[in-house]
Structure 1
Amino acid sequence: MSLFDALRYDGKRALVVGGASGMGAATAQLLQDAGAEVVVMDFAEVALPGAKAIHVNLADAASIDAALDQCGGPVHALFSCAGVADGTPGIEKINFIGHRHMIDRLLSGGLLPRGSAIGFISSAAGLGWEANLPQLLEFLATPDFDAAVTWAGEHGTAHYMFTKQAICAYVARQAYPLLKQGIRINAICPGPTDTPLAQANKEMWLGFGADYRGEVGIEASTPLEQAYPLVFLCSDAAAAISGVTMVTDAGYFSSGVTESFPAATDTVKFLLGRY
């Protein structure tokens, strides 16, 4: 056994929600390579050889409950990767409320043991969460799936930006109570990544930061390049890290904040709520 084994997943069972394509699929493949037993849940068909595939509709609490009954436990690492774009019916459920319901069910069922970890995928759209914290805390205080859906409808927050802000706020807020149970929670905030969802929204999603990437000589990330930090955050090697949304955008936001790449500054300040 070597010190580097802390990065591996031998003997662990990992659940990837939204693992049929994109970053979720890359995460599932990487976890298999790291030694994990992998379960993949998705609305779409799952084609990863060697993984247990379970159908789930994150917009339906009953579907989530049935999927978890089929999955069972333990779940040593939960990767909440599923997400959709604006214009998708039920976006508030698919991008956040359904994921939270799944975590609540796993916790109440004792399926997330001490030493387990949770990893979310947020977005640049979520990085202004601190400026919107009072409203987000009110939303996160909703006790269950139905109450959260009602709240989002009443407050007009069933859209992409709010769901991604909710992820960042939830990760930060839950670090303390979850760690009391021996569970860590983190997220990544990817820069533009060449996934099927990004291709479907190519002009906006892959066009974002294109000037920066052109200046520094890089392309949009691959799904695997985003899976690496996400899998790291849920590994034992990240035992000291919880409550963090790691920005994995090749330095675009930092360059905008510090004005070392001035063309990004106005966009970044807007997204961070610093305008």
Structure 2
Amino acid sequence: MERYQGKKVVIIGGTSGMGLATAKMLLDGGARVLVTGRSQAALESAQKELGNNAIVASSDARSLTDIDVLASRVKAEFDTFDLLFVNAGFSIPTPLESVTEAIYDEMFNLNAKGPFFAVQKLAPLINRGGSVVLTTSIANVKGMPGQATYGPAKAALRSFARVLAAELLPRDIRVNAVTPGPIDTGILEKAFSDKDAAAQMRGHASGMVPMKRFGTSDEIAKAVLFLAFDATFTTGAELPVDGGWSQL
């Protein structure tokens, strides 16, 4: 029997990078998977890559209205499910003096507020013995210049992992966080139109990682699935997948 046969999974932020890699592993293991994203191009690309066995839904992780609609869609598609992977998020690197209220709100809405309400709205549909995995960041434990709003928003999400784990214990639902370091998702190439600038940034980041390389989306996916299905005596924890950057 395939490893994840019979499992039903919702991945918020699953149309690219780490979320997409996790969806692929689950589908290969026999699970049913619903992934969300915002960009129409990304939604279409993910559907093509994942195939007809995956459900690809348009949903803005910052919008409480969209989260309500998503909960109704999940109820209709799955009734109940086993894993909620809350992976949507991004950084807008900004020096302290340049942070605006709009940037501040964007970072907290996407990286803290949205995930909190996603768990609130979707937890009633998670089966007993199920799991929630949140994507935090090493920026929540390291003081990184330019991350004055992203790091604290991810730190709030880390705190939510503990509190939500305690809240959901009576329902036998575990809540943990995976904490990526630099991961090769193609985001640098998207952020920098200049290939030389992207390569320079990649080299700089790699140099700060004790293992001297970027991680892969598959390495994150394996950690997520470990927390979700194998780490059955673990809740409220954070698993760094960062080449040792936050630990050494």
* TM-score range normalised by the length of the shorter chain: 0.7 to 0.9
| Distance in 1 (alpha carbons) for counterparts of 2:207 and 2:186 | 22
| Distance in 2 (alpha carbons) for counterparts of 1:56 and 1:80 | 12
| Distance in 1 (alpha carbons) for counterparts of 2:228 and 2:36 | 18
Q: Which runs of 4+ in 1 moved over 4 A?
A: 201-205
| Distance in 2 (alpha carbons) for counterparts of 1:21 and 1:242 | 27
Shift of 1:204: 9.3
Residue 91 (1) aligns with residue 107 (2): yes
Equivalent position to 1:228, from 222, 225, 230: 222
From the superposition, tell whether residues 203 and 92 of structure 1 become closer, same or farther in structure 2 (CA, over 3 Å): farther
Q: TM-score, normalised by structure 2?
A: 0.79
Q: TM-score, normalised by structure 1?
A: 0.72
Equivalent position to 1:76, from 62, 76, 82: 82
Residue 210 (1) aligns with residue 210 (2): no
Instruction: Render the CA deviation track for 1:217-275: whole Å, top value 9, x for unaligned.
Output: x521111111111111001x2110110011111222222xxxxxxxxxxxxxxxxxxxx
Shift of 1:92: 1.6
Shift of 1:68: 1.8
Name the SS for the 2:114 alignment partner: helix
- Say what the alpha-carbon RMSD is for the aligned residues: 2.5
Letter in 1 for 2:122: L
Name the SS for the 2:162 alignment partner: helix
| Distance in 2 (alpha carbons) for counterparts of 1:205 and 1:113 | 43
| Distance in 1 (alpha carbons) for counterparts of 2:200 and 2:88 | 19
| Distance in 2 (alpha carbons) for counterparts of 1:158 and 1:67 | 30
Letter in 1 for 2:207: D
| Distance in 2 (alpha carbons) for counterparts of 1:26 and 1:120 | 15
Residue 64 (1) aligns with residue 59 (2): no
Match of 1:16 in 2: 11
Letter in 2 for 1:186: N
From the superposition, tell whether residues 190 and 205 of structure 1 become closer, same or farther in structure 2 (CA, over 3 Å): farther
Instruction: Render the CA deviation track for 1:117-155: whole Å, top value 9, x for unaligned.
Output: 0011111111269xxxxxxxxxxxxxxxxxxxxxxxxxx
Shift of 1:83: 0.6
Q: Is the 8 A contact 1:209 1:252 kept in 2?
A: no
Shift of 1:112: 1.2
Equivalent position to 2:233, from 240, 263, 275: 240
Q: Is the 8 A contact 2:213 2:243 kept in 1?
A: no
Pairwise mapping of residues 131-210 of structure 1 onto structure 2 (< 5 A)?
A: 159-201=149-191, 202=198, 206-207=202-203, 209-210=205-206
| Distance in 2 (alpha carbons) for counterparts of 1:207 and 1:81 | 25
Letter in 1 for 2:141: L
Q: Is the 8 A contact 2:207 2:213 kept in 1?
A: no
Shift of 1:90: 2.4
Pairwise mapping of residues 232-271 of structure 1 onto structure 2 (< 5 A)?
A: 232-235=226-229, 237-255=230-248
| Distance in 2 (alpha carbons) for counterparts of 1:182 and 1:251 | 31
Instruction: Render the CA deviation track for 1:59-81: whole Å, top value 9, x for unaligned.
Output: 22111111221121312100011
Equivalent position to 1:52, from 48, 52, 55: 55
Aligned residues: 218
Letter in 2 for 1:90: E
Name the SS for the 2:6 alignment partner: coil
Comparing both structures, which one devotes a greater share of its residues to strand?
Answer: 2
Letter in 1 for 2:31: A
